Structure 1
């Protein structure tokens, strides 16, 4: 049935998802040609899932107003998770996206436990990995913990976020960084392996005040726009750091 929904034409996907799979989809939400296998799906007004995404094995997919998953993302919980993670009965395999949160292109998101993006948070650029499970070598067992991005936080291209980590409100993680702990300082630029605070970011950063309309459309956000957004943000952050503001 999920494949039938993915292959159906245009707006019919939204209706089939509601009728066949029990999804709660707002009339203004958009669903592209993506495979969506989740026990509970909730898409708010103007929420958008582009084409060529695979979303499977989740207990819940929840996207608030204007939340956007662009294209070619792999968002999944391992098929054998119930047998692997018996020591974690309270885990919640879910992707929760707040208002105008965004996941752009070609990211891998492990939802063995909850991955949550607060309002206007984004996983930007390309090729980031979010992991909610890992092998605890000391105890020789699997470890599972959620990952959280705070309001207006941004993670750039090619980053790795390990299980149990978080990025605080308005935290910006530079491309290629590895987050292996709970970052705590808000409105701060982080960089490195492991990611460490470089310096605070100014209140004048235009990214904090960008138009929400730039982040939403009736379809998926196009990769060219995503590259422009990331390049603009990286340049603006670097300028702010260099100028000492």
Structure 2
């Protein structure tokens, strides 16, 4: 996949085509793996490897650029108006001393990123199966400045299976929201938490109270919440 402006322009030129023809060009010309029932709206996806599982979907006016890999499991969703950007592995300058850095976004089956979020994939972002990045205006940031070393560092961010991220949250590099846990709206999560079935809230976020593991959100078998 061509990077930068050429890659963006190439996909914009495909927008007038019916999805069936656009899908054929993306598969054969650009190497996308798009399984049956999957669909990309009027969005631009520039990544080294792209795999869309069966019936997964990317909505409209979402921009994905400079990722090594974008992977959506079956029935996974990326909504509208999201900005998802990485830093290529071979980029000069920052992060050159992080050989294992993985600028990728991996979304598990039936998981969802809704609308108008900002996701920094300088390092890997993983959204577990049936998890939801809900509302709008959440930022996931996998890099930041190390004040002591006076340089930028990166670390992966993970939302565990059946996790729920409320509207306008911030997840910083190295953050982990454990499975079947909730990050309350407006919270800032800056570390790897380990306890499952917990409501995390605050700035910085910490455990507030346990959640009932029998809650229907934590046991559903389809991704969409009515």
TM-score (normalised: structure 2): 0.91
Instruction: Give 3-state SS (helix, strand or coil) of 1:120's partner.
Output: coil
Could you say which residue in structure 2 is the equivalent of 1:242?
none
Alignment partners' CA distance in 2, 1:85 and 1:111? 13
Indicate the structure with greater helix content. 1
Q: How many residues align?
A: 216
Aligned residue runs from structure 1 range 203-214, under 5 A: 203-210=213-220, 212=222, 214=224
Could you say which residue in structure 2 is the equivalent of 1:41?
50
Note if 1:105 corresponds to 2:115: yes
Q: Structure 1 unaligned segments of length 5 or more: list them.
A: 216-228, 230-245
Could you say which residue in structure 2 is the equivalent of 1:125?
135
Query: Is 2:67–2:87's contact at 8 Å kept on the other side of the alignment?
Result: no
Could you say which residue in structure 1 is the equivalent of 2:30?
21
Query: Is 1:172–1:190's contact at 8 Å kept on the other side of the alignment?
Result: yes
Instruction: Give 3-state SS (helix, strand or coil) of 2:133's partner.
Output: strand
1:39 to partner: Cα distance: 0.9
Q: Structure 2 unaligned segments of length 5 or more: list them.
A: 1-9
Deviations 1:54-94 (A, max 9, x none): 00000100111111001000000147944221011110110
Instruction: Give 3-state SS (helix, strand or coil) of 1:56's partner.
Output: strand
TM-score (normalised: structure 1): 0.84
Note if 1:2 corresponds to 2:11: yes
Match of 2:145 among 108, 130, 135: 135
Could you say which residue in structure 1 is the equivalent of 2:158?
148
Alignment partners' CA distance in 2, 1:162 and 1:185? 18
Alignment partners' CA distance in 2, 1:157 and 1:78? 26
Query: Is 2:111–2:223's contact at 8 Å kept on the other side of the alignment?
Result: no
Mean Cα deviation higher: 170-179 or 82-91:
82-91
Alignment partners' CA distance in 2, 1:6 and 1:47? 19
Deviations 1:197-242 (A, max 9, x none): 0111013322123451636xxxxxxxxxxxxx6xxxxxxxxxxxxx
Could you say which residue in structure 2 is the equivalent of 1:71?
80
Could you say which residue in structure 2 is the equivalent of 1:59?
68
Query: Is 1:7–1:33's contact at 8 Å kept on the other side of the alignment?
Result: no
Match of 2:194 among 184, 187, 197: 184
Instruction: Give 3-state SS (helix, strand or coil) of 2:19's partner.
Output: coil
Q: After the TM superposition, list the runs of 4 or more consecutive aligned residues in structure 1 that deviate by more than 2 angstroms.
A: 1-13, 78-83
Higher relative contact order (CA 8 A, sep 6+): 1
Query: Is 1:13–1:31's contact at 8 Å kept on the other side of the alignment?
Result: no
Deviations 1:14-73 (A, max 9, x none): 212102101110121011000110110001101100111000000100111111001000
